[in-house]
Amino acid sequence: AVPRTPPPRSPNPSPERPRSALAAAILATTLTGRTVAIPQPRQRSLSESDSACVEQECFEPYATVAQLRMGPNWKLDGSEESHIQSLEISDNYCEDEEDMDTYLSDKEAESSCHSNGKRGEDISIRSRKAWGTMTKEKFRELKQENWTLNSACQALAQRVEETKQQMEELLLKLKSLEKENRKLKEASEMQREEEAAELLSLREQAQELVDENDALKMTVHRLNVELSRYQTKFRPLSQEEHLKLKSLPMKGPPPPWLLDMKYLSPLLLAYEDRLREKDDLTELMLSELMISVKSFGFCSYPPSIPPPPFFFFFFLF
């Protein structure tokens, strides 16, 4: 039997065709006697954002009773007409009433399905808009994040360039410092060599000064001895004067008072006088010797040969 009321609205409609469409197809098959193939319901293509709203959407019927009955190409052959006439004769009134109820139920089902389809389309549009808004927000966030990352990358690249420049400057400074250090080492080595040579020369000069000082001390000692002899030659000293003078010894270290410079001048003058006297005496003796040799006929000694040592015994005092 064909239901007279529209199917109840279920919150979870099945993916099959609604009952009103199925009843209309059965009725049309019964009336026409033809076999009508009912295709499987095709779900509308939904985006990923509309997957949450798939339970709220319905499927539109492929054909209604009015479309099947009142279509422009809907015709009946002879067998079908006889079958329909027999049905109309047997139960004309009941069939008209059932057709009216079925037609009304189909209309209500179509209107409800259309309203559900519109509502589903609205929901799908809203979901698409929401998904578009979310996509835009996500794109904006990704764009902002990309801009931030690009800024950070540029900052890092700039920092890397600055670091490279600093490294190059430090390398140049290091090379200059190495050159300067090498020059300082060479200068230090040269200075050490010069200092070593100067130190050696200073040591030699110090040794020469020490030797010269010793020679001067000995000279002063001899001058003092000669002075004492010179003084005793011109005037003999008494015993008391000898005790007071305490003449200098011939050997031993000289007294410290003789090292003063104020005593050197008279000593040197006395020493020069002593040498001059010896030179005059030597010339006198040589002249007398030459005269005596000529007078007695002895061979004369050449000037380059000194006289025998017995002629100069008087120089020892």
Q: What is the DSSP string of 161-199?
A: HHHHHHHHHHHHHHHHHHHHHHHHHHHHHHHHHHHHHHH
Q: At CA 106, angle to CA 104 and CA 109, rounded to 5?
A: 110
Answer yes or no: is 41 within a domain: yes
Quick one: which H or E segment has residue 121?
Answer: helix 92-234
Pick the range with the lowest mean pLDDT from 52-66, 180-194, 222-236, 239-253.
Answer: 52-66
Can you give the residue range of the structural domain that contains 44? Answer: 19-145
Interatomic CA distance for residues 178 and 172, integer angstroms: 10
Predicted model pTM = 0.28
Token couple for 96: 């008209």
Answer yes or no: is 263 within a domain: no
Answer yes or no: is 25 within a domain: yes
Q: Which residue has the higher pLDDT, 15 or 225?
A: 225
The stretch 198-218 carries a mean pLDDT of 90
Residues whose CB falls within 8 Å of the CB of residue 228, separated by 6 or more in sequence, listed in order: 245, 247, 248
Interatomic CA distance for residues 48 and 52, integer angstroms: 8
* pLDDT at res. 6: 55
Flag whether pLDDT at 295 surpasses 80: yes
Answer yes or no: is 248 within a domain: no
Q: Which residue has the higher pLDDT, 119 or 179?
A: 179
Answer yes or no: is 186 within a domain: no
Whole-Å CA distances, 316 to 226, 232, 254: 12, 15, 23
Answer yes or no: is 60 within a domain: yes
Flag whether pLDDT at 121 surpasses 60: yes
Pick the range with the lowest mean pLDDT from 66-75, 100-109, 161-170, 187-196.
Answer: 66-75
Answer yes or no: is 83 within a domain: yes
The stretch 39-68 carries a mean pLDDT of 46
Interatomic CA distance for residues 113 and 58, integer angstroms: 6
Number of structural domains found in the chain: 1
304-311 long-range contacts (CB < 8 A, ≥24 apart) are 311/285
Answer yes or no: is 30 within a domain: yes
**DSSP 3-state helix, strand, coil percentages of the chain (rounded to 5)?**
75, 0, 25
